[in-house]
């Protein structure tokens, strides 16, 4: 598990490497979920807004699956919840 202050940067790094996005925002929403059952193990809650040509013509479900794949093990070690807003530019 990454230190909390490095999670947003690592999420951003992996998504930028995988999708070369036209725009990307990664927001740590963990503070909104303090005490939440799923947050007790130290994993965080995040929102990702990403626009990339890689998503053009792909259904939303395929976009989200590609994002989960790019994040790899972070989905089980560091991320408890991920809200995704993805699109093509």
CA atoms within a 13 Å half-sphere pointing along the CA-CB vector of 44: 21
- Tell me: pLDDT of 84 over 60: yes
In the numeric block, the tokens 């963990």 are attached to 30
Q: Write down the mean pLDDT value for the chain.
A: 91
| Alpha helix positions (H), 1-89 | 4-19, 60-71, 74-77
- Tell me: pLDDT of 38 over 70: no
Residue 77 CA to residue 68 CA, distance in Å, equals: 13
Give the chain's largest Cα–Cα span.
40
With beta carbons less than 8 A apart as the criterion, state whether 79 and 48 touch.
Answer: no
* Domains (range + CATH), the chain: 4-87 (3.30.300.90)
**Span 53-79, pLDDT tens digits:** 999 999 999 999 999 999 999 999 999
Q: What is the pTM of this model?
A: 0.89
């Amino acid at each position: 598990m990454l230190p909390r202050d490095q999670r947003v940067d690592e999420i951003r790094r992996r998504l930028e490497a995988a999708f070369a996005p036209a725009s990307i925002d990664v927001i740590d929403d963990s503070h909104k979920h303090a005490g939440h059952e799923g947050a007790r193990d130290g994993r965080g809650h995040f929102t990702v807004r990403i626009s990339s040509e890689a998503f053009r013509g792909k259904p939303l479900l395929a976009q989200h699956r590609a994002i989960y794949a790019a994040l790899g093990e972070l989905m089980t070690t560091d991320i408890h919840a991920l809200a995704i807003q993805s699109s093509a530019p």
